[in-house]
Structure 1
Amino acid sequence: MKSCRRQCGQCAVRRFGQSLAVVAALSGLDLACPNAAFGQANTVFRWSRGDGGETKNAAEKLAEPLVTDRPDFTEASSTVGLGVFQIEGGYTYSYDANATSSTTGHSYPETLFRYGVFAEWLEARVAWNYASVGETEFGGNRTSDAGAEPLYLGLKIALTGQEGFLPEMALMPQMTVPTGPKQFGGDETLPGLGWLYGWDLNDWLSFGGETQANRALDETTANPYLEFAQSLTVGYQLHDRIGAYTEWFVIAPDGADVDHTQNYFNTGLTFLLNDNLQFDIRYGVGLNEAADDYFTGSGLAWRL
């Protein structure tokens, strides 16, 4: 039975690769590896110049420090590698105030499970989180909501490695499914798509970004709309075991009844405890009235 499941998965990978060949021909990319060998490639495509882009398999990635999706908003443009399992999680506190009230938020454990399946370039993703939000009116009244957020399901598909100024890229189809309370978006399935891209500029400086489009629900009316998100991040290697980043990101609703665009700036530090375990801290501020005043948090990532 396990053998049959593996064969079915490999067949699906081959069919996926064959369908992408047309896209590659139209875009100037070369398909990374055709037909039966396609599942053994590190990325779906290779650039049609130079060496096609630097890529690594699971064994090569395991010989180096782990690469995480947290603590910044921008996800990594690489996958964990075939057969590699990685857990990431943490806690975030947020605060916002206006003329009449203040709102505090607690988010934990922000758990993200990442596992390389079927091919080096394919990663399965499952995330779960619990949120608590409290609002205090200046004068005394306090209301609160708490509950599990909708379950997140997604894939990360490694498209290319970096070749000079041509970026490392990945595509991330994703969705949340209605498993939590209605007030936390647990009313319907919300699909989306993310495009990830990044460059290593030198041994200590990197640059990356993420562009997303997701179906979302208005927080006040619960009516659906299309939500866009964009981020740009700069990473700094301060020491063999210490990294830092600065980042801007925006969440922009299109067609929402009440929700408004939110702009943020945040920064943080990462500390490698060993090649498979990383601790992080972060702090961010809102750049416009609709955004939270500030947020802060910390977390861990563990590669098994």
Structure 2
Amino acid sequence: MPRLWTAVLLLGLPLLAHAVEEKDQVVTDRPDFVESSNVVGAGRFQIETSFALERDKAHGGKQRTYSTPTLLRFGLSDNWEARIETDGRMRVVTDDPGGGRQTDNGYADVSLGVKWHMADADGALPSMGVLAHLDLDSGTAAFRAPGKGGSLRLAAEWELPGDLGLGVMPGLAWQRDDNGARYTSAILGVVLGKEWNERFRSFIEYSAPQIARGRHGGTVTTFDVGAAYLLTDLVQVDSALSRGLNRNTPDWSWTVGLSIKF
């Protein structure tokens, strides 16, 4: 009988190891700016939603922007996913230097996209994914872009010693400025993350959602810190704080989010 149990154990170890390796766990594209290179998996659905607040002081006035950024991810195969993204419900409160106040309410534009997981990590080579998005001028008047746009990004992730991870995301975006003129801008994000245990991770990040000429709004860039915690393998809560690094960027922004995988 002991020999039988030994044989069963030896035969079962590879299956057990495979089960651990294939453990189903939510992997999100938030709260950092740099996207994950992974997709949600064939037939899976994932929602990543949040509340966000931006505060900015410009020309003696103050502006507060409230939004509900939301990303819906649908697994088309083991390497492809479809995506619907929006900043959701919006509210902007502007206090001018003269004491007046203006409030705008409405909904942000919607972006449609796909992500392709093109390569797994292999030695010194990173895990890589490609993201393509089409931005629709579909929001309410106060928040609608002056025309359709789009973006193409590459997400690359390296696993480093000490449970550290490095992510880099370069890209290009095509859009219109406030005058309706078409222009192309660059995108760049670099994030360093740390997994403290199986549930908790934190990160620091440099992000530049827009690198453009001054006549097209200039460069927007931030320094970000944040963390995420797994309540279960399929439910994540997170938060992040960003500091604007130049006058084109809101002074401060903060977000708290919830992500669920089905």
When normalised by structure 2's length, the TM-score is: 0.86
Matching of residue 91 in structure 1 with residue 58 in structure 2: no
| 1:153 matched residue in structure 2 | 112
Query: 1: distance between equivalents of 2:183 and 2:129?
Result: 25
| 1:114 matched residue in structure 2 | 73
Matching of residue 138 in structure 1 with residue 138 in structure 2: no
* Amino acid across the alignment from 1:63: K
Matching of residue 263 in structure 1 with residue 221 in structure 2: yes
Query: 2: distance between equivalents of 1:60 and 1:122?
Result: 23
* Amino acid across the alignment from 2:55: Y
Query: 2: distance between equivalents of 1:253 and 1:182?
Result: 26
Higher mean alpha-carbon deviation, 227-236 vs 139-148, is at 139-148
Query: 1: distance between equivalents of 2:20 and 2:142?
Result: 44
| 1:226 matched residue in structure 2 | 184
1:246-257 equivalent positions in 2, closer than 5 A: 246-254=204-212, 257=215
| 2:7 matched residue in structure 1 | none
Query: 1: distance between equivalents of 2:137 and 2:253?
Result: 26
Matching of residue 66 in structure 1 with residue 26 in structure 2: yes
Answer yes or no: is the 8 Å Cα contact 1:226–1:255 preserved in 2.
no
* Amino acid across the alignment from 1:166: L
Of the three residues 149, 156, 170, the one matched with 2:129 is 170
Query: 2: distance between equivalents of 1:60 and 1:87?
Result: 24
Answer yes or no: is the 8 Å Cα contact 2:147–2:180 preserved in 1.
no
**Cα distance change of structure 1 residues 203 and 249 upon mapping to structure 2, 3 Å threshold:** same
Answer yes or no: is the 8 Å Cα contact 2:95–2:101 preserved in 1.
yes
**Cα distance change of structure 1 residues 246 and 215 upon mapping to structure 2, 3 Å threshold:** same
**Cα distance change of structure 1 residues 67 and 161 upon mapping to structure 2, 3 Å threshold:** same
**Cα distance change of structure 1 residues 206 and 263 upon mapping to structure 2, 3 Å threshold:** same
Query: 2: distance between equivalents of 1:156 and 1:281?
Result: 24
**Cα distance change of structure 1 residues 295 and 157 upon mapping to structure 2, 3 Å threshold:** same
Query: 2: distance between equivalents of 1:297 and 1:290?
Result: 20
1:1-304 equivalent positions in 2, closer than 5 A: 63-108=23-68, 110-117=69-76, 119-128=77-86, 129-202=88-161, 204-218=163-177, 220-254=178-212, 257-304=215-262
User: Is the strand fraction higher in 1 or 2?
Assistant: 2
| 2:12 matched residue in structure 1 | none
Query: 2: distance between equivalents of 1:186 and 1:275?
Result: 37
For structure 1, list consecutive stretches of 5 or more residues without a partner in the other structure.
1-58
Q: In the TM superposition, what is the alpha-carbon distance from 1:246 to its structure 2 partner?
A: 0.5
**Cα distance change of structure 1 residues 255 and 266 upon mapping to structure 2, 3 Å threshold:** closer
Query: 2: distance between equivalents of 1:273 and 1:197?
Result: 26
- CA deviation profile, 1:63-110 (whole Å, cap 9, x unmatched): 2421100101111011111111111000110111134211111111x1
**Cα distance change of structure 1 residues 61 and 290 upon mapping to structure 2, 3 Å threshold:** farther
Give the SS at the match of 1:257. helix
Answer yes or no: is the 8 Å Cα contact 2:208–2:220 preserved in 1.
yes
Q: In the TM superposition, what is the alpha-carbon distance from 1:203 to its structure 2 partner?
A: 5.8
Answer yes or no: is the 8 Å Cα contact 1:225–1:255 preserved in 2.
no
Query: 2: distance between equivalents of 1:245 and 1:101?
Result: 32
Query: 2: distance between equivalents of 1:265 and 1:154?
Result: 26
Answer yes or no: is the 8 Å Cα contact 2:148–2:175 preserved in 1.
no
Answer yes or no: is the 8 Å Cα contact 2:183–2:216 preserved in 1.
no
The alignment's C-alpha RMSD in Å is 1.9
| 1:39 matched residue in structure 2 | none
- CA deviation profile, 1:8-47 (whole Å, cap 9, x unmatched): xxxxxxxxxxxxxxxxxxxxxxxxxxxxxxxxxxxxxxxx
Q: What is the number of residues matched between the two proteins?
A: 243
